[in-house]
Structure 1
Amino acid sequence: MRLHTKLMLGISLLIILIGSIFEFSFTSLMEKTLKQEKGEQALSVAQSISHIPEIKEAFLTDDPAIIIQPIAEQIRKQVRAEFIVIGNREEIRYSHPNSERLGEKMVGGDNTKVFEGKSIISDSVGTLGPSLRGKAPIFLEGEVIGVVSVGYLQDEIKKEISNIRRQMFLITFLVLIGGVFVAYFISRNMRKATFGLEPKEIAWMYQEKHAILESIHEAIIAIDVYGKITVVNETAHRILQVDNEILLRGRRVDDLLENTRLLDVVNTGKAEYDQEYMICGEVYLVNSIPILSKRGMVIGAVASLRNKSELANLLQELSHVRAYAEGLRAQTHEYSNRLYTLLGLIQLGSYKEAIDYISKEVDVTQSLIRFLMKEIPDPIIAGFILGKKSLASEMKISFDIDHHSSFKDLPVDIDREKLVTIIGNLVNNAFEAVRENGKDSKEVTLFLTDLGKDLIIEVEDNGRGIDLVHSESIFQEGFTTKNTNTNAGIGLSLVQRAISEMGGYITFTSDKEENTIFTVAIPKKRGG
């Protein structure tokens, strides 16, 4: 189904739905309001009649109906009620629209509360049919001596509601007809504006155009007849040194490019090729061609820009790569010599010299290795700590393992990768913190213990500390106080996630410009 057909059907169905809901709600409300209004009106008339002195005095006569019937009928005609019935305590009628029913007993069975002295509105069936009644007691010297019943037939109320419903249906039908015509004109104009293309086709063409523009290495800039930019790709943003988030569409091209030939191409309608143009100190070759409409009129121009110095830059990069390769070759040769030396020591049986040689190369002391082998026998954790020790040495950071540390009782089912994630990210953050502390001493301490039911991991550094303002945000992914955006705001969120999966928790304490301590507790048994 095509767009304009969907649009017409959609608007028509919407109008029908809204009209139906409105008609149903309005008629229901009107029926409720009309019944309430009629009931209150009947009750008001009944209460007024109950206070008429002539009515009360008539009850003391031998034949009250002679006095009450004319008064009741006169009032009934004035208020346009269907009936006004007045009866005594025995429910004997003294008034009725049909005089032949005088003296008979009242019908409906809804006078009980009235004889208790209460005025009511009831919906009952009488001799004239279903009716809405207002009933009021007649008092004489504080006692109820009779009842006044004023009523309107339900059939009359329904007739009024039917008239209202017909009017609402007519209005809804006229609105629907008008909506169909509006939908037709809207869909017709939209079809012309989109050249008969469907939304899926337009979306596909837009995505295709965007992909083509971004796949082109050259910068593309298109303008309209007024010199305003209509199309620009990311390469052009980069060449113009304008952030991609800044919208260039709609801006004048001469505000961004001085002395550009694009405006001349629009005015003359002639294409220009391989024109040199200087942008931000770089020379570019520009090709500009006019954009023509179906009638052959110039409606804009498009230009492609290529960096003339790209070839020179490419050659320079190749030279750098060659120099880097030569450096790697020399480093490989030197490393091979060291391996041959180590191999010779082993073949000669000089194992102690070989071990000393290895220790000297990796800058790890024998005491640390013995300590890790004794207190942290797990090879994954111990090897990871050794690696961080070497990294700290290269970064000129004092990284110490607390001599009270012990990780001997490490359960088999504890995920070593998660432990490495926790320790590694905490230590990396500590390294970053001490590198920025501005102090001569850059110290990081790691403490591990498995005493008790939990594994405890503490990392302390003498960095600048954590501002209390950020205490609620440091574990959120993407949050960082670093100036760089590269891999920032991820470490602590990974730590938090790994700890949560292992059923533990993490806390920290921090003194501004002094130190920060992160403490992690992980139960050896889940739920422990």
Structure 2
Amino acid sequence: MRSWLHIISRLRPATIQGHLIHMVLALVVIQIAVSWHVISGLTEEMLHEQIGQTALQTARTIAQIPRIRQALIEGDPHGEIQNLAENIRAQTGASFVVIGDSAQKRYSHPVPERIGQTFVGGDTGPALIEGKSYVSEAVGTLGKSLRGMTPIFGEDHDIIGFVSVGYLSESIHQSISAHLDKPLMYIIGMSVVGILSAVVIAGRLRKLTLGLEPSEITNLYLERVAVLQTIREGVLAIDHHGNIRVANQAARRYAGLSFEEHFAGRPVSTIIPEARLEQALHTGLSEFDQERTVNGQELIFNIVPVFQNQKIQGVVASFRRKDELDLLAAELSRVQEYSELLRVQTHEYSNKLHTIAGLIQIEAYREALDLVVTESSGYEEFIRFLGESVPHPVIAAIILGKYNRAKELRINFAIDRDSTMADVPKWIHQEKIVTVLGNLLDNAFDAVLEQPQQLRMVEMSFTDLGKDIVFEIEDAGAGVAVDQLERIFEKGVSSKGRGRRGVGLYLVRQRLGELAGQIMVSRGSLGGALFTVVIPKEQT
């Protein structure tokens, strides 16, 4: 039993080409068997009918010969019937031509010794009794044969004998086999064509499947399903018709779709129209970090078209909830801000320590003491101001970090001491205010760096009195050109040249849009740009 199983396992095809050839061979074998059965059956039936009719027609013709009728009446004293019957048999190719009288006595036979004996077969009744002509199949002295039987009538239309013309079944089978040679060659030829076609199709199929075998394709499919269901990002794939092909569990969860419903094959425009995936089908352009609101949920989409032979075959989109990404961004922002704060403080204190050390070395003790007192009191006073006016650690940290950054850049950064920001509603994410303040202050610092030392001034004030939170950041730079006032908040637009520029103000506008806030640009009293930010306290 094990040996048979081993043989079967060895014969089992391992490649897709082998699978296809085996299937085609099995189909060809079935086709040959069915075709041979049908063709041989039809051929045998047609030849059987044709030979039977030929035998009957020959028998009828013989029964109409006057010399045979006359010799049969006279008892054939000269053996004339045998000679005529044998001549006709030789000319027609029949196996036998037997002529007998009404008593079934033979007057002709292929074997002369059997002349005068009784006809064998038992099928003469309808001819001798009823006068009918017919085709029958019976076993005679020569074997089983197909016979044409017809009566011989005398001058008074009485039955005086019969004629039996027959073909042995053996010779009929030989004739049928000869007629089946051509159909057999046709079937074999079609089988060869089928096998060759299977080889060509298998090669083409292997190319279409990138050379992967069935087991590899199965493993890839199972792995793809496992990967798609385990990753945390939502994945949605559509074909070139815009119908959904894949939607993993995360995609269903983020988009608020049912986990049990079957979405494959359905148009994405009817399931998640807000994703606007069909747009990538028409444009062929990738989209990254695009915000979409799907079923009331803010999502960040990355959309990439899939090309094959320069044609778009579909689109794949991955997305996650915006608040999850914002949380990660906030954590990263905090780490970066704290890291920057420590770096700036370390650098600044290093400079101060070097200065104090130098003053001591040159014995300028009074100046060293004054510097220590001035730095200590000024910084402590600023920290105390932030603690009282901005009791929000994240916002206070960004202001402190930029204060130290300004000192490092030797920029006079002044904050209105009447400013206050104690009343920040809980619905306003402080990380968004951090993004707004950080980018506006960085722009202000960059704007004054090219100015002389005495003109490097940046001022900031803020207030939370009333129904809005208001920031004002002013610099002594060159200001914003009039032709750029409408474009400075667009992504990639910057007055500082190309490269990785034109992103800060774009992010500012995005975050203010999320907070339903506004930003205005004008010329300030310092001669440069004045940015005014207004954020409503009440959630709209």
Normalised-by-shorter TM-score class: 0.3 to 0.5
Q: TM-score, normalised by structure 1?
A: 0.47
- Higher CA-based Rg: 2
Q: TM-score, normalised by structure 2?
A: 0.46
